[in-house]
């Protein structure tokens, strides 16, 4: 069961975004896109309930674990596509998904991770640029 709490979509998501900062954003987005396709299937079904979800949707969600494992075991150059820590964290989160509500809460969490990840990757690069700009102006 995944409870939607303020901490789950803020503090915990921000911490995970920082931990995953060494992963290419395309890799993080790729799995999010997989989950978005699954989410669309749920929203398109007007009769969606937890029984239907367990039978028709949950296997697709669990299958994403294998895709993450593949990326965690695959290298580009001399670097793994995703870290072991990312794989382990996502495995735990996916294992907690049992209902539509759990999945929706997980999706908010994952979206928050991506948002914080983007913020830190952009702020990190712009902070350096701003510092260089300020130093140049003060000369």
Q: What is the chain's pLDDT, residue by residue, as a tens digit (139 residues)?
A: 999 999 999 999 999 999 999 899 999 999 999 999 999 999 999 889 999 999 999 999 999 999 999 999 999 988 999 999 999 999 999 999 999 999 999 999 999 999 999 998 888 655 544 444 344 434 4
What pLDDT score was predicted for residue 121? 86
pTM as predicted: 0.85
Quick check: 97 and 106 in contact, CB under 8 A? yes
What pLDDT score was predicted for residue 136? 40
Quick check: 89 and 16 in contact, CB under 8 A? yes
DSSP string, 111-128: HHHHHHHHHHHHHHHHHH
What pLDDT score was predicted for residue 127? 53
Measure the CA–CA gap between 41 and 79, rounded to whole angstroms.
Answer: 34
Quick check: 64 and 75 in contact, CB under 8 A? no
Counting Cβ atoms within 10 Å, is residue 123 exposed (0-12), middle (13-18) or buried (19+)?
exposed
């Amino acid at each position: 069961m995944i409870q939607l709490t303020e901490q789950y979509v803020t503090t915990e998501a921000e911490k995970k975004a920082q931990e995953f900062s060494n992963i290419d954003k395309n890799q993080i987005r790729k799995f999010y896109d997989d989950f978005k396709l699954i989410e669309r299937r749920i929203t398109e079904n007007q009769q969606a309930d937890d029984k239907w979800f367990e039978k028709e949707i949950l296997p697709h969600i669990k299958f994403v674990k294998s895709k993450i494992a593949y990326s965690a075991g695959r290298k580009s150059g001399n670097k793994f596509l995703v870290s072991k820590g990312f794989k382990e964290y996502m495995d735990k989160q996916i294992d907690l998904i049992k209902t539509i509500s759990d999945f929706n809460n997980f999706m908010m969490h994952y979206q928050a991770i991506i948002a914080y990840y983007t913020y830190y990757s952009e702020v990190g690069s712009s902070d350096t640029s701003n510092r260089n700009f300020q130093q140049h102006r003060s000369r």
